[in-house]
């Protein structure tokens, strides 16, 4: 893995995303800020429903009409993404910032073969269609399977096709939303290594995953999300050895090769987030100070961060 020394590739500053529903508002992302550098693989981890995928779709302008998005996101050096018009976003999607979708079945045109989709993508970005077989093989897909329609592919094969489509334009920034879903362990490792090689060649990858083991394998840094907020953001080597936020430590302790101990309780509803620390009801260290929202200081948003000794 590399160290974070490259220039900024993507900056997100004070991002808020809310969804208006009849009688309720879902606070999906709250005051989220991060910087992704060239050559860096930044993993965003957390339990399902914490806002990880919404982050990616907000950056790309792919949220439904009932979403309210505020804050800023900049694709360096010159593109302000939040609030940009569809024409402006279409000019950079795929070409400069790509997405591996979480649900490839909904992202693939059912009446087009994989080869047709990949060839169209290559042509649209000025690359030779003869690259299709090579790109498919890089993504772990048998080139012969490109001649099938999406409904003829298994879930894992469809995921690999979606990965190939995202890689085809060779974007400088790649948002990978659960790119290993539906894959067996050898293909999980293959996909992770593929993303790692792209970073080592100078690209920037934001890996969204609930698989902490996968993140540990390839990430330079890790941002832990809980109930719409980042609660810890540190170099991967530091977070995995000495987590500072009690939630990050609890996630690691839930792994089979750690304590294999589940986190008690449940995350709060995103329609009724508390004013203070959202993890407090599940945290043994919580006290009255936790009724106030902690700032993300020294890499962790916690009034009572763990010491290195407590973390281990």
Q: What pairing do the DSSP bridges indicate for beta strands 67-75 and 79-80?
A: antiparallel
> What local confidence, expressed as pLDDT, does residue 1 receive?
54
| Within a domain: 224 | yes
Within-domain flag for 291: no
Whether residue 273 is contained in a domain is answered as no
Number of domains in the chain: 1
Sequence-ordered list of residues with C-beta below 8 angstroms from that of 126, at least 6 positions apart, any chain = none
User: How many C-beta neighbours within 10 Å does residue 173 have?
Assistant: 20
- Rounded CA-CA distance 54/65 in Å is 14
Q: Say how far apart CA 107 and CA 102 lie, in whole Å.
A: 9
In this structure, is residue 246 part of a structural domain?
no
* pLDDT attached to residue 2: 47
Residues 124, 157 contacting (CB under 8 angstroms): no
Angle at 45 between CA 40 and CA 49, to 5 degrees: 140
- Say if 174 falls within a structural domain: yes
Full pLDDT tens readout for the chain, 312 residues: 544 469 999 999 999 999 999 999 999 999 999 999 999 999 999 999 999 999 999 999 999 999 999 999 999 999 999 999 999 999 999 999 999 999 887 889 999 999 999 999 999 999 999 999 999 999 999 999 999 999 999 999 999 999 999 999 999 999 999 999 889 999 999 999 999 999 999 999 999 999 999 999 999 999 999 999 999 999 999 999 999 999 999 999 999 999 999 999 999 999 999 999 999 999 999 999 999 999 998 899 999 999 764 454
Strand 229-235 vs strand 79-80: parallel, antiparallel, or unpaired?
A: unpaired
In a domain, 222, yes or no: yes
Q: Say if 186 falls within a structural domain.
A: yes
Q: Are 40 and 221 in contact (CB under 8 A)?
A: yes
CATH number, domain containing residue 173: 3.40.50.300
Would you tell me how many other CB atoms lie within 10 Å of the CB of residue 257? 7
In a domain? residue 161: yes
Domain ranges, residue 212: 8-236
Distances (CA, A) of 137 to 22, 69, 86, 166, 254: 46, 38, 32, 14, 35
């Amino acid at each position: 893995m590399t160290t974070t020394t490259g220039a900024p590739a993507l900056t997100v500053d004070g991002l808020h995303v809310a969804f208006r529903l009849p009688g309720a508002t879902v606070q999906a992302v709250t005051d989220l800020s991060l910087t992704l550098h060239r050559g860096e693989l930044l993993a965003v981890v957390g339990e399902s429903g914490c806002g990880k995928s919404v982050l990616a779709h907000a950056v790309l302008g792919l949220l439904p009409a009932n979403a309210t998005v505020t804050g800023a996101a900049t694709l360096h050096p010159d593109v302000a993404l939040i609030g940009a018009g569809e024409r402006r976003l279409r000019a950079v999607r795929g070409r400069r910032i790509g997405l591996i979708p979480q649900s490839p079945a909904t992202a693939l045109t059912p009446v087009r073969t994989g080869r047709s989709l990949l060839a169209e993508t290559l042509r649209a970005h000025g690359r030779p269609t003869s690259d299709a077989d090579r790109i498919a093989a890089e993504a772990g897909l048998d080139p012969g399977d490109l001649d099938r329609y999406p409904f003829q592919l298994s879930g894992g094969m469809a995921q690999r096709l979606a990965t190939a489509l995202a890689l085809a334009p060779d974007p400088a920034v790649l948002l990978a939303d659960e790119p290993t879903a539906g894959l067996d362990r050898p293909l999980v490792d293959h996909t992770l290594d593929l993303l790692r090689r792209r970073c080592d060649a100078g690209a920037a990858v934001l890996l969204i995953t609930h698989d902490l083991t996968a993140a540990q394998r390839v990430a330079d840094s890790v941002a832990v999300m809980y109930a719409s907020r980042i609660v810890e953001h540190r170099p991967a080597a530091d977070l995995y050895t000495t987590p500072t936020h009690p939630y990050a430590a609890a996630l690691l302790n839930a792994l089979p090769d750690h304590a294999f101990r589940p986190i008690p309780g449940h995350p709060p509803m995103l329609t009724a987030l508390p004013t203070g620390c959202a993890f407090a009801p599940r945290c043994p260290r919580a006290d009255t100070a936790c009724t106030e929202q902690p700032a993300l200081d020294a890499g962790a948003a916690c009034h009572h961060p763990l010491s290195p000794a407590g973390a281990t």
